Each structure stands twice: as C-alpha cells, then as structure tokens.
Chain A
Amino acid sequence: DADVTQTPRNRITKTGKRIMLECSQTKGHDRMYWYRQDPGLGLRLIYYSFDVKDINKGEISDGYSVSRQAQAKFSLSLESAIPNQTALYFCATASGVRETQYFGPGTRLLVL
C-alpha cells in the first residue's frame, strides 16, 4: 500500500464550487505540505503544517484553506473554485533532521 495517498485522483468542477482534496499518510511523519504544479512554474507551496496544531501559509495561499484533522490527515479546500486553480496538486510529508519530502500521487483538478 502507498505511504501517502490522495483523493480524488482526478476532479472536474465548475467555477464557484467548493471542493476538498484529501491527503492521508501511514509514514508517521509530523510534517505535511500542499503544493500545486503548473507547467513552467514548477512546484509552489500552498500551505504546510509541522504538527496538528501548527498551520502555515505558503507562497500562494489565497483562495485555499487547510485542515490538519490528525497527524496522518491534511486536507486542502478551495472555497470557491476558479479556472486558474486548474493544476496538479501534490501532498507531501517529511520528518527527521534531513526532512526529505515524500509525495503523494497527485490530484489533477480541472475548474471549468
């Protein structure tokens, strides 16, 4: 079984809809991250959390919110989706001194 899972894997939604992307991990890591990836723009950090009570904005948090429901779960919400939020979204986890990040398989989101 995969250590980091994301649901859904693909999602098509309409402008103005609220959607939630979920991430779960069995690695026992304390740190979790949400990124989006767009062609030519690379990976950009949306939110990150170093433990259940710690949530931090990344470089592009506007239009997004997160919830760290447990150490193993970190959800990303788009309150009112817009077309320029169409992207590939990745969740990642990390722990330890080195803090190597391990990525989930990604969610491909299309906002019409």
Chain B
Amino acid sequence: GQNIDQPTEMTATEGAIVQINCTYQTSGFNGLFWYQQHAGEAPTFLSYNVLDGLEEKGRFSSFLSRSKGYSYLLLKELQMKDSASYLCAVKPNAGNNRKLIWGLGTSLAVNP
C-alpha cells in the first residue's frame, strides 16, 4: 500500500524553530509537496522537493531524503499566524496516474 505518516499535533513557542517530519512509503516517487492549511480555509502551497537536499524559502525550508523516504518542514522565527495544519503529499507516479497521496496533516499550535 501507499502511506504517509506525520505527527498529529505539535506545539511550539513564538520566535522558536520547529521541525515537522513526514515519512512515506509509496510505489514510486516523483516529488513531495508541503501545504499549509488554516482552520476552515483552503490548503496553500508552501514547497516542493524532488531531489535530495534542502530547499529554503524565507522562514520556511523543506528537506528531502529519497533513500530514507523522509522529508521535514522547518519553520523558523515562529509567528502566531503559523498556527495551522501542515500537509505532506507525495506524487508517486509520472504518466497519466498522477494522483497525490496525502498525509493527514500536522496541527501546529504556536503559543506566546
């Protein structure tokens, strides 16, 4: 089967750094996405990794290790507005069967 695992909930303090992990077991790999979703709102795209290594984009960075089936999202200088759910999604296949496999999301609470 195909599976993505993320912690259900995390808590962090304003101004701190938090790392949200994602592990996946899929039939193939053609890219990994991170999305942010505030309560009751639509998911919004944060980052995409297809090669091993770290992708940095402002306060957010995403890391991928394909050999380990592992990714993490790193959030620096946390702000209250970062309180949201963070979704990891993998595109396992190229070609016409290009559906994403979604994790259940990690709910992050940022406290003052």
CB distance from A13 to the nearest CB of B (A): 20
Contact partners of B33 in chain A: CB under 8 A: 100-101
Which of B9-17, B42-50, B63-71, B73-81 lies at the interface? B42-50
In the complex, which residues 34-63 of chain B have their Cβ closer than 8 Å to any Cβ of chain A?
A: 40-45, 48, 50
CB distance from B73 to the nearest CB of A (A): 16
Is A64 interfacial (CB 8 A cutoff)?
no
In the complex, which residues 61-112 of chain A have their Cβ closer than 8 Å to any Cβ of chain B?
A: 88, 90, 98-106, 108
Report the nearest A residue to B94, measured CB to CB: A97
A interface, size bucket: 20 to 34
Report the nearest B residue to A44, measured CB to CB: B102
CB distance from A42 to the nearest CB of B (A): 4
Is A58 interfacial (CB 8 A cutoff)?
yes
Expressed in whole angstroms, the Cα–Cα distance for A22 and B11 within the complex equals 37
Is B100 interfacial (CB 8 A cutoff)?
yes
- Cβ contact within 8 Å between B99 and A41: no
Expressed in whole angstroms, the Cα–Cα distance for A106 and B44 within the complex equals 12
Is A43 interfacial (CB 8 A cutoff)?
yes
- Cβ contact within 8 Å between B104 and A103: no
Nearest 8 pairs between A and B by C-beta? A103-B42, A42-B104, A43-B102, A103-B43, A100-B45, A105-B42, A42-B102, A106-B42
13 other A-B residue contacts (CB within 8 Å) besides A88-B40, A98-B31, A103-B44 = A42-B87, A42-B103, A43-B102, A45-B99, A50-B96, A90-B42, A90-B43, A100-B33, A101-B100, A102-B45, A103-B43, A105-B41, A106-B40
Q: Which residues of B contact A (CB under 8 A)?
A: 31, 33, 40-45, 48, 50, 87, 91, 96, 98-100, 102-105
